[in-house]
Amino acid sequence: MQFVKCIKSFLSPFQSLITLFQDCRRNLKSILLILFCISPLLLHSKEKSLDQCLKKNTFICGDAYSYLLNIGTNIDKDILPLSSLKMYKQRAESKFKAIYFDKYKNVYYVKEANPITEFMGSRLMNLILGRKVSPIVRIINDQKFTVASLELQNFKTQESTDLKHKSIIGQADLDFAMNFIGLVDRHSGNMGYVSLDSNTLLAARVDFDASFDFESSFFRAHSLNTNYLNLKHLFISIEQYSKDETLSALKKIINLPDEKIVMVIFQCWATFVRAGYSLELKHCLAFANQLIERKHAIRDALKDKHSALSQAIEKKTHIKKKTEHIERKPKKKKVRKKR
């Protein structure tokens, strides 16, 4: 009985298991098996939160790589040596240098790029929309300023997709997610669709090099020297969607927990350092805070009924799109009179 009391004391946070332990008190093998199963929980429960480990823009919980590993994140999976891949096809005419595949037959599109915008932009899109509509990007560590984008399953670009008799979903979610992270360069080679079935397409995006530009045109070369509190991109997209679509897409953004944004940026920083890049944590954390401020600015504008953003959205309930009431007639061909 004394042994059971010790077990109860040790596992006080796991009261739901006490009954099971009492039933198994005469079976040491069962007890050891249960301890083995919950040992990862016990280990992770002792690990401090990231917020507790960040003091004055410094990570104080030892080695970032080990810390992430202890909470179940192996950043080595996001680092690839180009030497470990086999070339499938070279693409001299494309911005992608070549198509490669790994030993598991996974296909990668490899290109020279700004690794910070490409990698961080992709991870933020993965966070907001998931990996079904935004590919996983990995860092090439034996060739600087090069990234590898994992092939997005069932994806085709806009320029190579026949939209006849197709239903497109998720376009508003994608556009407002791009607006949030300032992802421009939205030409038909970057934008596209994931085929869900023979009739349904899910809006998707590849290539994240042009991330974090909050002011430039959607189709112009991007700049990183822009104001992160500028919401002009949102107003452009509001004109294209209904009030319900707009609010639904924006809620996905403003409901993102602040700590998840910080964790994504922290993991990116740790991955860069692990891959051999020199990048200061304080700059990455400052950027994470800017994204959080941007998210809060959107949230506050939605709460304020008199804000320009709220009024622009509200107009969508009263004003129909111009194209809805215009009857488009085919142009008449000019017939030349015979002389």
| pLDDT tens column, 319-335 | 444 333 323 333 444 44
Give the position of tokens 């907001």. Answer: 128
**Against a cut of 0.85, is the pTM above it?**
no
Of 85-99, 101-115, 312-326, the range with the lowest mean pLDDT is 312-326
Determine the pLDDT at residue 38: 45
Give 169-173 contacts, CB < 8 A, sequence gap 24+: 169/196, 169/200, 169/201, 169/202, 169/203, 170/129, 170/133, 170/202, 170/203, 170/204, 171/203, 171/241, 172/237, 172/240, 172/241, 172/245, 172/246, 172/248, 172/249, 173/129, 173/203, 173/248, 173/249, 173/252
Overall average pLDDT of the 288-299 stretch = 98
- CA dihedral defined by 91, 97, 103, 106, rounded to 10 degrees? -80
Of 91-95, 106-110, 269-273, 281-285, the range with the lowest mean pLDDT is 91-95
Amino acid (one-letter) located at 269: W
- CA dihedral defined by 43, 44, 45, 47, rounded to 10 degrees? 100
User: How far apart are the C-alpha atoms of 16 and 12, rounded to whole Å?
Assistant: 9
Amino acid (one-letter) located at 146: T
pLDDT band at 56 (very low <50, low <70, confident <90, very high): confident
